[in-house]
Amino acid sequence: MDKLAFLFPGQGSQYVGMGMDLATKYKVAADVFAEADRALDFSLREVMWDGPAEHLAQTAITQPAILAVSVAITRVLAANGSSPRAAMGLSLGEYSALVAADSLSFSTAIRLVHQRGRLMQEAVPLGQGAVAVIMGLATPLVEEVCAGTAGVVLVANYNCPGQVAVAGEVQSVEAVMQKCSALGAKRVVKLPVSAPFHTPLLGGAGEALRPHLEKSELKPPQIPVVNNVTAEYFTGDDLVSLLVRQVSSPVRFEDCVRRLLADGFMHFVEIGPGATLGSFVRRIEKSATVYTADTAENIEKFLEVPR
């Protein structure tokens, strides 16, 4: 399939039991989960498959778990002759994309995102940060509301037309939610996360991650990978700086998709738990073809698509 791009999800798509069917059906997937356990100082498989959900939802656990599932699926597809021509991820998913592009080894990546999750969670004390999704308002209007609200709050995720996420200090986020509801937002939802991801409040976490990135063996991506910060392709020399900035910068997912569309990529497959990114792509470009590869069943369906 020409011009096929892989999309990798971020935190929030996890669920207890994810990846178990992959490990049962595909040895290459089981090998990925075993490699994850060897790279970490605990059994990731045990948490992923047995829970409890509250433990899996801890940022330092969620991030390596989603990465492991995404890489397992990528390797299953590669073993069956399906590889991407380009890749991108949302937040954490950027690491999965870089593994798919042979820029980063899986064992290095899983240790990095474990540290990343820990640093992001520790950056802001529990109960002081919040994230909310605003649906049905024009993005410039949401930006204006944030700018006119006291405290720290701004758009943290530019997902697709009519949907953004705002993040910041709890009281500021709640004020923006109330204002957006009054302005006619179709839906305003506070997310069950405990840190204001992709805001300046996490700048310290990004800098703390820098030495871990600098001692990792990062190589130029072997396929184009769009980065979240600028919505342009990584060059190789900018990997550390952009991954540091990504922690506290807005995720420009819509612009990233438009970068790929402008270069002729019209086929997308979401690699990892959930199907949220695919729904964003459909709202960005209705004529794009979107597939989901999150379970063994859906992987088989995708592999049956004529190439």
Give the span between the Cα atoms of 244 and 146, in whole angstroms.
Answer: 24
Domains delineated in the chain:
4-123+200-303 (3.40.366.10), 129-190 (3.30.70.250)
Contact 295, 198 (CB under 8 A): no
Give this prediction's pTM. 0.95
Give the residue among 138, 146, 253 at the shortest CA–CA distance from 185: 138
The position carrying tokens 């069956």 is 80
Give pLDDT, residue 188: 97
**Based on the number of CB atoms within 10 Å of its own CB, is 80 exposed (0-12), middle (13-18) or buried (19 or more)?**
middle
* pLDDT value at residue 57: 87
pLDDT along the chain (307 residues), means of 10: 90 93 97 97 94 90 96 97 96 98 97 95 87 97 98 97 96 98 97 87 96 95 98 95 97 98 97 94 96 96 88
**pLDDT attached to residue 2:** 72
Predicted local confidence at residue 1, as pLDDT: 64
Q: Give residue 153's region: left, alpha or beta (phi > 0; psi -120 to 50).
A: beta
Q: What is residue 98's predicted lDDT score, i.e. its pLDDT?
A: 98
Enumerate the active-site residues: 91, 198
Cβ contact 184:137 at 8 Å = yes
Query: 153 forms bridges with which residues in the sheet?
Result: 168
Q: Is 68 within 8 Å of 110 (Cβ atoms)?
A: yes
pLDDT at 58: 87
Cα separation, 16 vs 248, in Å, equals 28
